Structures are given as structure tokens and as C-alpha cells.
Chains A and B, each alone.
Chain A
Amino acid sequence: MYQFNYERPKTLADAEALLGKADDPKILAGGQTLIPTLKQRLAMPSDVIDIGGIKELDFIRAEGDAVMIGAATRHATVATSPDVRKHNPALADLAGWIGDPAVRHMGTLGGSIANNDPAADYPAACLGLDAKIHTTKRLIEADEFFTGMFETALQDGEIIKEVTFPHPEKAAYMKFRNPASRYAMVGVFVSKGPWGVRVAVTGAGQNGVFRVAEMEEALAKSWSPDAVANIKVPAKGINSDLHGSAEYRAHLVTVMAKRAVAAAS
């Protein structure tokens, strides 16, 4: 680790002020990605602003037809929240599949989507549930938020405050875990709700999470595993590495989609 200034503000306003003042600041949430990055000396921020002490970022509220989740809410809290379990069990399940217990008790929703790891789970839920991402500056639609591998629409100094997940009528997430890291090698989130049908895929795409229009159309006509069973995503643009070829991952998209639909039926 290189030397940096460490701050732990109590309010969002203080955090914003600190971010404005610093040369090259980094927000620290659960630290599950940022701390290893710092330890390996792959980042050299001037200031680390720890948002873990900001109470107004740590909440889960069910209101009207949506669940609002604060950006600093831990994965374990989401996985076990009665509100999330009741209105959006697929989201709670997804949070429960992230990493291991230690990671789930430290990692946060905001950190996960700000990082936009192409193998992370939450991006699939955001895109698959037509979520709204509220920041200190604006509201960003999930469709606009994830812009590429480790890339988002966030600007410098912009802090994610909360994510609004509208209740789905039906939804499920199926994850094929990378045997080593247990991140998603392929994760498919399917849902049906006021927004219509969504199929969001994480883990597979070279540019991160993406939707599969052909599957969405098929499921809109007939919500059944058979409807997607013969729809294949092209292997072009799909990740290929030691753990699996693009063809294998593309095949898994169909398998996981089928299983997700079956689970959500």
C-alpha cells in the first residue's frame, strides 16, 4: 500500500466536501475490491474517504411498489432482509450468492455496482429489474449506468446514495459460479414486471452485463423455460479464458436462462 490520507465522515455532505477538496480521492465502502487493489499497489489515491460510517447510506425501505436500498448496505443485510425476501426474493437470493460470508458481511451494493466487475452479480439484478440508481448528483437508469467493463456513468466525486428496485411479478437469478473465484462465470437474471420482461446476463460479456432481446421477446410471448431453450447468444463478444471458452459460456447463458425461468414460474 502507498501512503494516503484516511477520512471517515459521518454525513453524506461531509463526504462530498472531502471528495471535493482532495487531489485524487477514492471512496471506500466495504473495501472488498479497493483494499486488495491498494495492497497490490495498483492504485495510489491521495485520500481514501470511508463512507462506511454514514448512517444515511445504510438502510432498506419497502415503499409503494419498490424496495429502496442504501448504497452502503452490506450484501448479508440484503440477503436476509424480510422486506427484500417478501417483495423481491430473487434479489435476496442473488445477494446470498455473492462471495463467502466474510465478503457478504463487508461488501456493499454501492461498491459492487460502482466497481462494475464484469463477473459481479448485482449488475444483473439492476439491469434485470429496471433499477434506478440515485447519486448525489442525479438519477441514473440501470440501462444507462453500466457502460463497459469496470466502467459506469458515474462522474468524479459522484456518490451512489441508493438503488430503487421495483417489485417484480416474477423473477429469479441463476448463477454458474467460477469454480475458483466463485464470481459469476455466467449469471442470468430474468424478470417480469411493469417494465415487461427482462433478461440480464453477467459474467459472460466482454463489456460487462447485457440484456438478451431475443429471450425477452420470446418470454413476453410465453413465460416458460422452453421459450428460451433454443435461443443462443452469439459467442462473439463473450469472454474466453482458462475457465471456459466463449462457446461454453454462451451455451451456459441459455442453460441458466432456462433454469431461471423455471425457478420463477
Chain B
Amino acid sequence: MSGAIAAEGIGQPVRRKEDFRFITGNGHYTDDIARARQTYAYFLRSPHAHARIKSIDTSAAEAAPGVVAVFTGKHVADDGLGGLICGWTVTSKDGTPMKAGAHPVLAFDTVRYVGDHVAMVVAETLADARAAAELIDVDYEALPAAVALSTCQDEKTAQVHTEAPRNTCFEWELGNKAETEAAFAKADRVVKLDLTNNRLIPNAMEPRAAIGEYDKGSGIYTLHTTSQNPHVARLVLSAFVGVAPEHKLRVVAPDVGGGFGSKIFIYAEETACVWAAAKVGRPIKWTGDRSEAFLSDAHGRDHLSHAELALDKDGKFLGLRVKTIANLGAYLSTFSASVPTYLYGTLLSGQYDFPAIYVEVDGVYTHTAPVDAYRGAGRPEATYLVERIVETAARETGIDPAELRRRNFVRTFPHQTPVIMNYDAGDYEASLDAALEAIDYKGFAARKSEAASRGKLRGIGFSSYIEACGLAPSAAVGSLGAGVGLWESAEVRVNPTGNIEVLTGSHSHGQGHETTFAQLVASRLGVPLDSVEIVHGDTDKVQFGMGTYGSRSGAVGMSAIVRALDKIETKAKKIAAHLMEAAVEDIVFENGTFTVQGTDKSLAWAELSLAAYTAHGFPSADIEPGLKEGAFYDPTNFTFPAGCHICEVEIDPDTGITRIVKFVAVDDFGTVINPMIVEGQVHGGIAQGIGQALLEHGVYDPDSGQLVTGSYMDYCMPRADDLPSFTLGFTKTVCPSNPLGMKGCGEAGAIASPPAIINAVTDALGIRDIEMPATPARVWEALQSAAPRAAAE
């Protein structure tokens, strides 16, 4: 490979192509788009967690200045619009399907959470729409609400959906119960732990937004929206909600400012905008504000779990038994049923060779915002549980936490876990060793006593995590209840002048696809990075694709590009052979040049591209003109990024403030395309993990169901000065199931870090558990009860 191209190719820390546009204010986000004659939508939301709507009088609002139309749940119902769906069906232990309550686009007779959608006002200006919304007279009969997760299954608690008695949507299980019972029966020690996984509110930088349009001439609807997966949005809006037939609906997700899962889902506001655009005959724009985002974006996590770990006398793990109650919120969101089940229970084996595991998960409704995938989705919950209980076991057995993990690591591959997953490759000890070295584990005791001399409590915590990415083999997810396949698509278009457009079904909303995907193409075709354009996010341009979540864009999206590039190369060689009058087998393609082996005949990439389109003298039976190929890639397995994070904290016992003083992350992501982007993903992920562990908490008032943390005054996002400087390291085992050997890196930081941090905090405090977020107040309170022991150390 020539020098210039090698510097931009696979493995190089190339600067992100898209950043110039973003940091100079030249991006095109949904809110930047203005359509002629556009109107503005404002949503009237429920002030109650649970209420019956006795009546709605919109007449005053309809007569208000600038108002174009007012829509309520009755209009939606009269129009026969379907409800919002959950695309994954989970089956309960008793064989019954999950109990899905209806999820109308605008509430019909009942509101089920604060922020639920009651009416949409469409007006000439946003101010007009807001002012008119205040004139809507809703007669509510406020009802008791089911808010707290711990009591929502009680007989006496209010019901969210009549379809789901005891607010229980499903009672799911995974693993072998009898084998697990037997393992516990012969255990020398059983370690038990109750854990809470706190509710998080995503807070992508760009709030959700939509512009719905309808073209009367063609009958085509267009929705510009903040989506991580525009084709999935189109499919759902068409096939299930029934807004328009698929071929009459275009969904465009232009530049999108972060998603973290929250923009996978198909929400009421976006749906209402595109549906109503035909009714009012004008484009309708809605841009959520931050308060609306807090109330109505799908939240993340929110589990209560009881876990038990069985060990033999040598510290070998014999079995794991888990019972989890997972909050689904008031309605099932697009993928919510899969998150606390197949994305959670399947990862409970961690990095360990468990003979038996049994997990039960109750998915429950509460009168709170829907809960769905949020960076990591199920895997942070699994990792938190496994790594917290393993660390607890180390403390209770007196075995060093690194050693206890070592004794139980999976060491041979492929490895079939008791919970579906088949680990294909990994070297868990390598990342543990590298992390121990990087943090100077041997020096910890000295650092702890030095901290004590300054009156500070120092602690250390481990997290040896594994996750499953590269979602996912279509057959596998289909057999588990998914309504979709999780392959990915790509099309490579070579233009006559030799530059290249790659149409990908992935969607970039901060991940840097325009750079990494281009690096792959540039390396493979031997062309400069600048001659490659990555096109995504528009159902009119791009073939059907599944979008970006679950760290799948590299392992699945890029694999599809590789397949398309294989086809391009095959065809290009055929053309080259024809042009140079040689046999196809003798054509060598290297560094962007085609040569005939053993001769000095050659053809540059640009010459070949042009020839493909001039097509002069092509034997038409053999070679079609043009150079454009597509591929659909369906993975054969999940990918399994894994690694080890170690955290060291110092706690000020006077104030309860926890300072992270050292943070080491050693990750195995398989092949890395752009190490700078990967490091950025790890940094961002750890920042979110620190947020979960120490700062962030979505809290509802347990009686009224009001969102207490509805703004940044109370919801604490991590800031730069909350974060330490991270020490990163990488180990590498290549993923055998995809052509590039990639595993995915987008979620690992958020998955791995919370247990490392809480393990460090509990170590410093000398206590078994502290609930996340470990705020100064909680740490101080823990110290009051644990004072004698902490003081003694």
C-alpha cells in the first residue's frame, strides 16, 4: 500500500471527516430544516401520572389566533390509526405471550404517565400553538398511580393496563432451574446480594424533532426526524401504525446529535406530525425542548434484583441464581421487552465458566415514562450484577478479587454458556493482567495508607466484563421473539470519475461512520479518503437497512460493505481482464491499480471506473456496463467485546464526596479501524458509566408520580470535572465470525465501568453495597452506619 493511502487506512487515527461541519455550525439537523408554509406542533401533556379523561373541550383552542388544527385521541381513533408497537414478543414461563397494553399515539380515555400525550395543537407559530394549548379544557379524574417498582406488583396497587394483572407484562425465565438448584445444593458457600440498577434519562445533546409533510400530487408523505434507524421507523409507521404504505412514505434522518438508544424508538410526536400533515395540508414541525425530553424520551435501566452465587471450597463458581424486576414504564416501547430479557439474561455468565445459571425476570408496568434500550441495553445491568456479586464473593471468601476471577475465567473457545451465548474468542486473563499492571495493583496498599494519612478513604474495584454486540444473527433473534432480522445492507457505487458513494443501512449520529467506513473503502480500493462519500439516513436514497444501535455498525454494517466491495472487485477484475485482454485469474488488484500478472500492463482505478461506464466494446453477454454492487450481510454470531476496567477512588469522609483518582480500561474490541474514534467511544462510555454510578438518577415522586428530576437542576449529568484522566489499553483477539474481525466498541465503557466504580466505593467504605448513584449524601449516610469499621481501618 502506498504511504499516503496507508496513513488513511485501517488502523489509522484519522481525524473525523464530519467534525469540520459539526464544529463550524454547518451540520443539518432536523430543526435546521425549514419547509415552505410549515406549521408548528405543540403537545399538551398529562400533568397526572394516572387519570381518566372524562372530556376534552378544544373549542377555545381552535378559535385562538394562528391555530390551524387541534387533534386529540378521538381523531386518532376515528382515523383508524394503529397504536405504537413493541417489535419483540417475550414469552412467559407458562408459555403465554407478554401482555401488551394498547399504546395510542394520543391518549384516548386514560393517561398513564406525567408527560403522556393528550392533544396536539398545530399553529402558525410555536408561540400560538403553546398559547392555544393552555385553552384546552381537559376534565381529568385523577386516579391512584403505580409508581414504585418494589410495590407495583402488589394486589392493591393501581393497574396500568387491564390486560396485565398485577402490572406484570411477562414472567420470563432463562437457564436450567433444576441444574441450578442442584449446584446450589452442593455448594460450600452461597453469596447473596440485592441490587438496584438506577433509572437513567438519556439526554442526547439534540432533542427529538420531526417535520411531517404530505404531497397531495404524489400522495407521498415525508418525515424528517431524529432517528437511529429510518427504515425501521418507516416500516413501523407503515405496516403497524398505518400512516401510509411503505412506498408512499419517505423517512429522512439527517444529522442527528446523539441517540444512545433513545432515538431507535418510534414515538408519538413524530408519528402525529407526519400523520396530521395530510390532514392540515401543510408541513408540521415539532422540536422537543429539554423538559419534554426528560418527560417523554424512553428512559433506561431501572431494575431491582436479587442474586445468589454458589461457590465450592476453592472458589470455583458452581451456579448463579437471579430474580429481577424490570420496569417497563407505562407502555411497551419499540424494543423494550427485549432489553431486560434477551439482552440481559444471556450475559449473566460474564467471563466465567458457569456450569449452571437460572434467571427469572418480571417485566412490569408502572405509571412512568416507557423504559427501553439505553447505551448498553441490558448488558450494563447484567455486568453490574455479575461483577458486583463476584467482587462480594471475593471479599467474603478472602480470595483476592483478581485471583477469584482468574480461577473462573473461560479459557477455551468456542464456549457455550448456560444462557444461550456461544463465546467465539477472547483472552480474559490478558486484559486483566494488562489492567493490573496499568493501575499498579501491587502499589495499592501503599496508596491506601498514604490516603488514610490525609484522612481519605481509598478503595479499588474491578470489572471484568463481557458483552454481546454485532446485533445480530437474524435466525437467532427471530427464534427469540424479534419481529425483525438484524442483518445490514450496503451498496457501493463507483462513479465514472472514480470516486465512490457508499450507501449504508447504518446510521451515524456521532459514531464517526463517515470516517471509519471511508477508511475501509479507501484501504480496500486504494483510493484517497476524500474520494469516498458515506451516504445514510434517507429511505429514498438508501436500500432498506436496520440502523445503528447495539454496537452493530462496525461488525455488521461494515461487513456488508466488505461483501459489496468483494463484488465490486470481482466485477472490476472482469472489466480489467477484458480491457487488458488477459484472463481474469491473471488480474492482480493492489493499491488502486489493476495489473496483469507477469506483465507491465496496468490500469489505474480511475481509468477502469470510466471504462465501466463508457462500456465501449463490452461483450454484452458477459459484462454489464456500470460498477455498482449491493450486499446484505447477516451475521452468524454475536460478537463478544470483553475486557477489564479497574477504578480507584478516594472518599472524603467529612463530605461524602467520591473522587475517582485512577481509572484503567483495557478492552478487546478485535480489529480496530480508527483507534482515535475507538478511544473517544470508550471515553464517552465511561463518562456515562460514571454518570450512572455516581451522579445520574431519574426519580419519580412515589405518590404523585411527578418526575422529580425533570431538569438539570436535579438530574446530574457528568461534567468534565467529574471525570478523571482515563488510562486506556487494548488487547486483541480477532472475532472469527465477521470478515474484518471486529467486535464493536460503542457501549463497552458504559457497560463495564459502573461495577468497577461501585466496587471501589464499597471497598473504600468497607460496606457490602451502596445504591447507585453513590452521591455524597448516600456515601455520608453509609459512613454514619458503617462508622466504626471505616474508622478502624
A residues near B (Cβ < 8 Å) are: 1-2, 40-41, 176, 179-181, 242-245, 248, 251-252, 255
The residue that A181 contacts in the complex, of B130, B708, B714, B775, with Cβ under 8 A, is: B714
Nearest-neighbor residue (CB-CB) of B701 within chain A: A242
Is there a chain A Cβ closer than 8 Å to B81's Cβ? Answer: no
Closest residue to A100 on the B side, CB-wise?
Answer: B719
Question: Interface size (B, Cβ < 8 Å)?
Answer: 24
Give the residue of A41, A176, A242, A245 whose beta carbon is less than 8 angstroms from that of B708.
A242
Contacting pair A180 B715 (CB below 8 A): yes
CB distance from A229 to the nearest CB of B (A): 11
Closest B residue, CB atoms, query A119: B713
By a CB distance below 8 angstroms, the chain B residues around A41 are 130, 134
Cα–Cα, bound, A27→B131 (Å): 24
Contact between B655 and A244, CB atoms less than 8 A apart? no
Per a CB cutoff under 8 Å, which of A1, A40, A244 touches B777?
A244
Residues from chain A with Cβ under 8 Å of B714 in the complex: 180-181, 242-243
Q: Kindly provide the distance from the CB of A261 to the nearest chain B CB, expressed in whole angstroms.
A: 14
- Whether B781 contacts A243 by the Cβ 8 Å rule is no
- With an 8 A cutoff between CB atoms, is B654 at the interface? yes
Task: Contacts A180-B714, A255-B654, A255-B655 given; indicate if A242 touches B699 (C-beta within 8 A).
Answer: yes
A242 contact set on B, CB distance < 8 A: 697, 699, 708-709, 714
A1-B127, A176-B655, A242-B699 known; A248 vs B715 contact (CB < 8 Å): no
Name the CB-closest residue of A to B722: A179
Cβ contacts under 8 Å, A40 to chain B: 291
- Distance A255 CA – B709 CA, assembled complex (angstroms): 27
The answer to whether A181 and B712 touch across the interface, beta carbons within 8 angstroms, is yes
Do most interface residues of chain B lie in helix, strand or loop, or is the interface mixed?
A: loop
B707-760 CB contacts (< 8 Å) to partner A: 708-709, 712-717
Report how far A248 CA is from B717 CA in the complex, Å.
22
Please tell me if B214 contacts chain A, counting CB pairs below 8 Å: no
| A176 vs B655: C-alpha distance when bound (angstroms) | 8
Q: Mark B312-324, 1 if CB is under 8 A from A, else 0.
A: 0000000000000
B residues in contact with A251, CB < 8 Å: 780
Give 9 nearest A-B pairs by CB, closest first. Answer: A180-B716, A244-B777, A181-B713, A255-B654, A179-B716, A248-B777, A180-B714, A248-B780, A242-B708
The smallest beta-carbon distance between B580 and chain A, in angstroms, is: 64
B97 in the interface (beta carbon within 8 A): no
- B776 interface residue (CB < 8 Å to A): yes
Q: Are A252 and B655 in contact (CB under 8 A)?
A: yes
Chain A residues within an 8 Å CB radius of B695 = 179-180
- Residues of A near B699 (CB, < 8 A) are 242
A2 to B134, CA, bound (A): 12
**A183 to chain B: closest residue by CB:** B713
**Which A residues are in CB contact (< 8 Å) with B709?**
180, 242
Residues of A within 8 A of B130 (CB): 41
Question: Which residues from chain B contact A243 at a C-beta distance below 8 Å?
Answer: 714, 775, 777
Expressed in whole angstroms, the minimum distance between the Cβ of B147 and any Cβ of chain A is 15
Q: Which residue of B lies closest to A1 (CB)?
A: B127
- Considering only CB atoms, which chain A residue lies closest to B780 in the complex? A248
Nearest CB on A from B61, distance (A): 15
| B residues 1-29 in Cβ contact with A at 8 Å | none
Contact with A along B466-510 (1 / 0, CB 8 A): 000000000000000000000000000000000000000000000
Q: Could you tell me if A244 and B776 are in contact, using CB atoms closer than 8 angstroms?
A: yes
9 contacts between A and B (CB under 8 A): A40-B291, A41-B130, A180-B714, A180-B716, A242-B697, A242-B708, A244-B775, A244-B777, A248-B777
Contact check, A179 vs B776: say whether CB atoms are below 8 A apart: yes
Q: B778 to nearest A CB, angstroms?
A: 9
List the A side residues contacting B713 at CB < 8 Å: 180-181
How far is A179 from B656 in the complex, measured between Cα atoms in Å? Answer: 12
Inter-chain CA distance A251–B779, complex, in Å, is 13
Chain A residues near B775 (CB-CB < 8 A): 179, 243-244
Which B residues are in CB contact (< 8 Å) with A180? Answer: 695, 709, 712-717
